[in-house]
Amino acid sequence: MAESKYLRAPVPSKKMPPSIPYIMINEATERYAFYAFDAILALFLINNLLNWEGNPANISEEKAIEWKHYFKAAVYFTPLIGSLISDLFLGKYRTIIAFSVVYCLGFLAITIDQTYLGTMIGLSLIALGSGIIKPCLSANVGDQFGKSNQNLITKAYNIFYWAVNVGAFFSMAISPWIYDKYEDVRIALGIPGIFMILATVTYWLGRKSMVHIPPKGKVFLKDLLSKEGLLVIVNLSLFLFIFVAVFWSLFDQTTSKWVYQAEKMNLMFLKWNISDKTFIGSILSKLWGLNQVEWKILPAQMQAANCILVLITIPLFAYIVYPLINKFFRLTPIRKIAIGFFIALPSFAIPAMVEKWVQEGMQPTIWWQMLAYCFITAGEVMISIPALEFAYTQAPKSMKSFISSLNLLSISLGNLFVSFVNKFIQNPDGTVKLKGPSYYWFFTILLLGTGIIFCFVVQFYRGKTYIQDEVNGESSA
């Protein structure tokens, strides 16, 4: 077979697999492409979308949000399709390469044609490509490890998540600036496409050092429909995914509800005035006039805070917090998730207080939202990464991508819950049932209840760890 020249199983080794750098570079550049596009999509739909005749479409903000959320829903639904294609037919590597090309064609379509037709084709292909490769990318990280170096899986997934946020941060910082600077929107749309091409080429270059686990085909279907396979799906869904979905229902509101609240806050992020007659002031004045700074951010720019905090929190937790806690009790992925629910609690309690102050006529500083970001980011690191790792290790070898896609579906479930809540609270007369602080307290109490129930229910979880077999050979030092 054509793939016989590639590794079919991990080589015994105590080291990090040589394929990991290629995977991490690919992840960072792919995430840059996606978030650079996503960061300007709402603006594009309102300001640059053209109708069938090629004239400005001038759609409403509500319609733009509707389209954007359809797109996001598709991105997190298609991983199910990707996992089936991977596990039944192509395997992870070939699925990633094939649909990365589809991904690139989506960027090409919307860059060339901004009419309804080009936009729908572009969004469809981007959602298809991004969603289908998503579970394969994360599951392929674990496939690179065998029993000799399985202790490094946690470190690898931390690096993987770090790479995601490196790409996300730079895209959120740069892409809106490019969109604003250049009148031709094709520049802002085309650059993410270039990064996706780089991501695809990088993955292809790493093919010889990468472990290519073959698709299981009928074995996958047999495992999926077996008592063991169905039990894994039911167990992970009831004991993990449904609880994690509640966290995502809070987290994803940082891109909507928190942005609306930020519009009512004091957006002066940094401000100082140091006389250039002082020693420090004279030095700063020569550095682009940094002795006098007034940095007022846009409400939507606060979203970048999460990326920065994740980049700080991952190594902080991995090398300081987790080792410290491990001195008192063993910190398993499940225990990390349980702690994460409670750490994230203040993230919605703080906005509840901010909303109360706004109602009283005050204009709280945006730094209160930064504090809330600290808590929700800490919760994200303690919930999302361990859930990704735990779901992989609990999935039978032929079902790795499929289980990873179910993990991603928890994000969709969380977003659907937010939509349901917001639809339910609307009254016919235009008022709402959960107004002001009460909205945030509702989700705070929901997360508290989820954490308590999770701690109780998860004690009854009984699972099994599945790690890829190694090829025969001596362990390399």
Which amino acid does the sequence have at 390?
A: F
- Triad 371, 372, 375: Cα angle to 5°: 95
Region of 329 on the Ramachandran plot (φ > 0 left; ψ -120 to 50 alpha; else beta): beta
Give the residue with greater pLDDT, 266 vs 303. Answer: 266
User: Residue 256: pLDDT above 90?
Assistant: no
Between CA 384 and CA 407 the distance in angstroms is 9
Residue 239 gets which letter from DSSP?
I
Average model confidence (pLDDT) for the chain? 83
Helices (H), 113-240: 116-143, 153-181, 185-205, 218-225, 227-236
Lowest mean pLDDT among 72-86, 251-265, 285-299, 392-406: 285-299
The continuous run of DSSP H or E covering 28 comes out as helix 20-47
pLDDT digits 0-9 by tens, 358-378:
999 999 999 999 999 999 999
Report whether 89 contacts 215 (CB < 8 A): yes
> pTM of the entire structure?
0.74
Give the largest Cα separation in the chain, rounded: 77
Across the range 25-35, mean pLDDT stands at 91
Across the range 179-201, mean pLDDT stands at 91
Q: In order of start, what are the domains of the chain with their CATH numbers?
A: 1-215 (1.20.1250.20), 226-463 (1.20.1250.20)
User: Residue 477: pLDDT above 50?
Assistant: no
User: What is the percentage of the chain residues whose pLDDT exceeds 90?
Assistant: 32
Q: Which of 240, 17, 45 is nearest to 141 (CA)?
A: 17
Predicted pLDDT at 222: 81
Helix (H, G, I), strand (E, B) or coil at 295: strand
Predicted pLDDT at 476: 41
Between CA 311 and CA 154 the distance in angstroms is 16
Predicted pLDDT at 161: 77
Of the pLDDT bands very low, low, confident and very high (cuts 50, 70, 90), residue 115 is very high
User: Residue 289: pLDDT above 90?
Assistant: no
User: Residue 193: pLDDT above 90?
Assistant: yes
Predicted pLDDT at 288: 59
Across the range 24-50, mean pLDDT stands at 86
Region of 115 on the Ramachandran plot (φ > 0 left; ψ -120 to 50 alpha; else beta): beta
Strands (DSSP E) found in 208-300:
268-273, 292-296
User: Residue 112: pLDDT above 90?
Assistant: yes
Between CA 368 and CA 171 the distance in angstroms is 24
